[in-house]
Amino acid sequence: MMVSAAVPVHVEDVKSGIVVLLVGGVPETDELVRSALARAQSDVAIIAIHDEAEALGYLHNCVSISGRRLPDLVLMAVDGDVESVRAFFSGLREQTLLGSLPVCLLAPELDVAQKRAFYRAGANAIVERIDTLDSVSEVLNTVVEFWFEMAQRAYIE
């Protein structure tokens, strides 16, 4: 299920158990992620926003407007613009509720210093070398299974 990113998702509008915010990325990465999540064992709704600043604004609107549902997971494609990713994490930390969102980065091959910088910035996980549907499906299914079956979600009303 795809949901328009133009309007914050209202709790009653999403029937899926899991809402994933897909941020950034090139069309090829987006298609791989969408295809992989379509294979997931859980019912997943995807909200795609290509600009980090716009995604941050979307999340802030979800917090400020009563009854808006935050996504359960943020998947952020990193295509080289490290500063925009850092700004995104900085913006998340401004709101306590947003700082608790799990964020998984999808990236090309990174060196150790880059990985450390992203983890320090706030990434919960980094998935590298996402180039085939099978590899992306395997990794994303593991991420979804962990965050939504092993870890317990708590919603603050």
Check residues 12 and 66 and name the one with the higher pLDDT: 66
Q: What percent of the chain has pLDDT over 90?
A: 6
Residue range 14-53, pLDDT digits in tens: 555 778 898 987 777 777 777 777 776 677 788 888 888 8
Check residues 134 and 77 and name the one with the higher pLDDT: 77
Q: Are 91 and 121 in contact (CB under 8 A)?
A: no
Q: What percent of the chain has pLDDT over 70?
A: 71
Q: What is the average per-residue pLDDT within 87-97?
A: 87
**pLDDT reading at 157 higher than 80:** no
Whole-model pTM: value is: 0.79
What is the pLDDT at residue 12? 45
Cα distance between the two ends of the chain: 25
Pairing mode, strands 125-128 and 103-107: parallel
The values of phi and psi at residue 94, to 5°, are -65, -25
In DSSP terms, 19 is beta-bridged to: 45
Burial of residue 40 (number of CB atoms within 10 Å: 0-12, 13-18, 19+): middle
**pLDDT reading at 148 higher than 70:** no
Alpha-carbon gap, residue 34 to 38, rounded angstroms: 6
Q: Are 88 and 52 in contact (CB under 8 A)?
A: yes
Q: Are 148 and 42 in contact (CB under 8 A)?
A: yes
**pLDDT reading at 101 higher than 80:** yes
